[in-house]
Amino acid sequence: MDPVCPLDYRYGRKELKEIFSEKNKLQYLLDVEAALARAHAKVGNIQKKDAEEITKKADTKYVKLERVNEIEKETKHDIMAVTRALSEQCKGDAGKYIHLGATSYDIVDTANALQFSDSTKFISKGLKDLRKTFVSLAKKHKKTIMVGRTHGQHTIPITFGLKLAGYAMEIDRHLERMHECKSRLLIGKLSGAVGTGAALGPKALKIQEEMLKELKLGIEDVSTQIVCRDRYNEFIAVLANIATTLEKFATEIRNLQRDEIKEVAEAFEGKKQVGSSTMPHKKNPITCEQICGIARVVRGFLIPTYENSIQWHERDLCNSSGERFILTHSLILTDWIIFKMDDVFKNLKIFPENMKKNLEISKGLPMAESLMTTLIKKGMGRGEAHELMRKTALKASKENKPLKEVFLKENKKLNLLSKKEIDYALDPKNYLGSTYDIIDKIVKKIS
């Protein structure tokens, strides 16, 4: 059958897709079954040789996916299919001890935690790479002056480096969140059908401890039939938060790439890239647009994730089908857009001359605050200075004249500032506040 899901043929990195492939999912389940058998052997419930045989055969070299799927068609139960297929491969009595005392979600949720452990390493590595790219650009463009914008309007000068230093710190906070989240996420369970461990016998807690210690996972404090889903809620929320940040960055690039602004642009790859099927001149920010679209999909998984945590009593099965989409897609897509975002910024086209030109479009109006603060320093009251510059700026805007020209007339009447003071106040590079110190601090902190 031809692929249906775009993850199969369009989005996602090979490494992440392999972690969540059907074959590797089977291997994670087998790894948990093998660890369970070894834990039983450690407490004396089964013989060591039987645990060793189960461990040896708990490998997709022996337990074939095709056979598991064949059994599942008959049993209508995925974990029973895995345990039966594994049992068929074991010699002697070993097969009798597979899945001893466990319920299906002891295996599934613990396997999920193993997948989370492996996949989040890629997420964290991608975030570190992106943070490094931002720091490098912040350092390079520390003094590249551009206009700041609020409400889509020109405000006062900033530098492109300051913008990127802010981006670097936002990614840094996501790395913190990911690290903190993992302590609550990488959790398994072995406590049976309702969390009591009754089927495991008097050594239930010791068996659970041995199994999860070997798998390098934490233990669910009090489980039901499943690991508590507040953990998954937090994790998917962290991924959605990361995706939202990336959409914010991508939206900024898309806006700054508009023809009437053109301060930065996505790289246009090679001589044969096509921007439009009908408009030959187009160079579209397609990667940033892809990031925005996928970020919305990742955020879209928040609602079903939270709803899945509302279970009937000790659990129902409503979470199972949804999580097959949510967990794989959220992780693969988040990793993908982190990777693509890093590529965008590493190859970003930056146009400082356009930044300078755009700053001058407003004919000095962004420097009204600078003149106001200069007047205050000369002894004028803050309110009086603000009112003077408000009227001056409005008049300059209405008459479409440079702020300097209109202010010089006011200044001549009031004799407030010298020409040297006016020129200094109107020069954007003199009104950057602590910009350089802020960037230096971030570069030093993260480098």
Residue 44: which H helix or E strand, with range? none
* Cα 257 from Cα 240, distance rounded (Å): 25
Residue 59: which H helix or E strand, with range? none
Three-point CA angle 388, 394, 398, nearest 5°: 145
CB atoms within 10 A of CB 296: 13
- The tokens 């089908």 sit on which residue? 321
* Cα 360 from Cα 244, distance rounded (Å): 32
The distance in angstroms from the start CA to the end CA of the chain is 49
Q: What six digits make up the tokens of 386?
A: 């603000």
Going by C-alpha positions, the residue among 157, 152, 154, 129 that lies closest to residue 436 is: 157
Cβ atoms of 409 and 416 within 8 Å: the answer is no
Three-point CA angle 251, 255, 261, nearest 5°: 160
Contacts of 11 (CB under 8 A, 6+ apart): 294, 332, 333, 336
Catalytic residue among 151, 183, 313, 447: 151
Contacts of 37 (CB under 8 A, 6+ apart): 46, 50, 51, 54, 55, 58, 94, 97, 98, 100
- The tokens 């401890």 sit on which residue? 209
Catalytic residue among 276, 321, 418, 434: 276
179 is catalytic: no
Cβ atoms of 20 and 5 within 8 Å: the answer is no
117 is catalytic: no
Contacts of 370 (CB under 8 A, 6+ apart): 156, 425, 426, 430, 431
Residues forming the active site:
151, 276
